[in-house]
Amino acid sequence: MSAHQALFRSKMNKHSLRKILALENEKVNAFVAYAIELCEPESVFVGDDSDADVAYCRVQAIDHLEELQLQTNGHTVHYDGYYDQGRRKDVTKYLVPEDQHLDPNLHQMPREEGIREMENLQRGAYRGREMFVRFFCLGSTNSIFSIPCLQITDSSYVVHSEDLLYRRGYDEFMRQSHANPQFEFFSYLHCSGELDERVTSKNFEFNRVYMDYTRNCVRSVNTQYAGNTVGLKKLSLRLAIRKADREGWLAEHMFIMRVNGPKGRSTFLCGAYPSACGKTSTAMIPGENIVGDDLAYFRVIDGEFRAVNVEAGIFGIVTDVNAKDDPVIWDVLHTPGEVIFSNVLLKEGKPYWLGMDEAIPSEGKNYVSDHWTEGMLGPDGEVSTCSHKNARYTVQMKDLHNADPDWDTPNGLPVGGIIYGGRDSDTSAPVFEAYSWDHGVCTMGAMLESETTAATTGKVGVRVWNVMSNMDFLSMSVGRYIHNNLEFAKDIKRPNVFGTNYFLKKDGKYLNGKLDKAVWVKWMELRIHGDVEGLDAGYGILPKYEDLKALFRQVLDKDYSVDDYEEQFTVRIPELLAKLDRMEKIYTEKVSDTPETMMRELRAQRERLLAMRAAKGDSVKPRDL
């Protein structure tokens, strides 16, 4: 019998008490009791995997005005505070014990100091409110991939979001508790803090997100933005990367998709793309199937490199989603069923957002005001837009008509290829293949860059280094992270590795069409199975013209000219060498534990490119390879 039963009885009804005690897990009980004593809720709701408990949380979100119902049945909208529209790197920190040291590039603070500050901010934060205790699972349940998660929050919006985004996990806790009461789980304690008249977190200056990695625990306060409060999202990725390091698997910021090859063949690809590099549009290519859009775990199972979608839904940016470019998402966002919009414009029960290619009202309710009008200044004096550029939608995988039927298989899916998608206007070809796993990890993943645009930073052409699109979420040194990727699955056949760049330009115009990526992934699928040959470009293998010409006709029903091919796949040696210069500087000056394999691959790449330049000049057409 739990030592905390008297406390639980004082806060829970008999149904919640029965559910918490049935787990017979003292670690769970202790964390729940700690949250009750610290945050002082009026009552405590404990949810299991039942549809009734899930429905209760959704109803509470609406009743408490954290979500407003829309015209379409099942659709709601949630608003965050004006200054609470995204992740804040400056207040997101690791709590480090005195006897441990993390990479100095990571945001961190002494653990005891962070715990004291967080407890001061969370003390009494649930007074007069209901505390929600919910159980979820990262990865498929009843699987080697399963990571049980315990979420505690005063926000019904948070647990409603998690019901759409993750597998229900109460039964998984029950299963693992009975098998091993000391099993490892992730836990989260979130407090919305004081709310304003719009039911948004008021004290944004005291927004804090602290990760106690020694306890697999994340705590956040004075924030409602899902990236800070939905603990199983990127906050869990940081914990999972450390868990994977201990146990010999990988946690990656990657989508998973199925490419449909010749004669019914299925090939699964995973892709890491920094923001604005084409990640979602690649994962959702028409004619292919999506498995997951954001996070993947890799394990070796029965001698195969396999991946599972960590999530069960999509928390996507709604800006620029329109019927032409995003038909699958557009359909879900206009069909009855559960959808949560956030920070969009609301007018007469209908949501509107930037880039939707429809007439947008000049007034309504949005992230700025209940009575927004076009041109209205925000609290910071800046002219506001109808919806926030980071406005979001939350939907379930099962509602996507192109979801792979096996997206939730417990043993994951076999991976045929890994893609690292960068963004530059003058260097890399639209698609190219690595010579080997080590070459791909080092020169495509570890050298991944995205070129900024005026829309995002005010400066054009700044290359931002983002190792495997995971830089913001690393919980260890860059060198160790690369080492883990290099060493993973060494004894089996590993996936082919590819790079993409959809943003090559000439005279200010893109050389790629938006739909061309459908051809590039088909070429990858053929390469994985040895159906086509390639050209050695010194930094990777390029497609042959005749293969792309056939694919453009087959996939897009369009002609593909020799001139387009020559422009897109020219080997631009000075630019490729300049990228090597940038990377060698980073890996010798900023990364203290760079693996020798990384430096060896950089040297070999430089030697190949220099030899090619000596023989063929600075700019080498593919016909000359």
DSSP string covering 86-141: S--GGGEEEEE-TT----TTS-EEEHHHHHHHHHHHHTTTTTTSEEEEEEEEESSS
| 280 and 165 part of one domain | no
Q: Convert 342-403 into a string of H (helix), E (strand) and C (coil).
A: ECCEEECCEEECCCCCCCCCCEEECCCCCCEECCCECCCCCECCCCCCCCEEEEEHHHCCCE
Residue 81 lies in a domain: no
Quick one: which H or E segment has residue 292? strand 289-292
pLDDT along the chain (625 residues), means of 10: 86 97 95 98 98 98 98 97 91 95 91 98 98 98 97 98 98 93 95 96 96 96 95 95 97 98 97 91 94 97 97 95 92 97 97 96 97 96 95 96 96 98 96 98 97 60 92 95 97 97 94 94 98 98 98 97 97 98 97 97 98 97 95
Query: For position 457, what pLDDT does the model report?
Result: 42
Sign of CA pseudo-dihedral 578, 582, 588, 592: negative
Query: For position 453, what pLDDT does the model report?
Result: 62
Q: What is the pLDDT of residues 444-480, one digit of tens each?
A: 999 999 997 654 445 667 899 999 999 999 999 999 9
Domain C-terminal end among 232, 247, 262: 247
Number of domains present in the structure of the chain:
3
Q: What is the pLDDT of residues 559-584, one digit of tens each?
A: 999 999 999 999 999 999 999 999 99
Query: For position 514, what pLDDT does the model report?
Result: 87
Range of the domain at 297: 251-310+408-624
Residue 67 lies in a domain: no
Q: What is the pLDDT of residues 11-47, one digit of tens each?
A: 999 999 999 999 999 999 999 999 999 999 999 999 9
| 232 and 282 part of one domain | no
φ, ψ for residue 291, nearest 5 deg: -110, -40
Give the single-character DSSP code of 407.
T
- Which one-letter amino acid corresponds to residue 344? V
Query: For position 455, what pLDDT does the model report?
Result: 45
Domain C-terminal end among 228, 247, 266: 247
Residue 75 lies in a domain: no
Pick from 271, 190, 273: nearest CA to 497: 271
CATH number of the domain at 207, please.
Answer: 3.40.449.10
Query: For position 452, what pLDDT does the model report?
Result: 78
Residue 74 lies in a domain: no
| 289 and 394 part of one domain | no
Measured between alpha carbons, how far is residue 585 from residues 581, 591, 597 in Å? 6, 9, 16
442 catalytic, yes or no? no
Produce one character per residue of 125-141: b if its CB has 16 or more CB atoms within 10 Å, e if not. Answer: bbeebbbbbbbbbbbbb
Percent of the chain surpassing pLDDT 70: 98
| 368 and 412 part of one domain | no
| 11 and 124 part of one domain | yes
Domain C-terminal end among 346, 373, 399: 399
Residue 69 lies in a domain: no
Q: Kindly name the residue from 39, 277, 386, 442 that is annotated as catalytic.
A: 277
- Which one-letter amino acid corresponds to residue 584? E
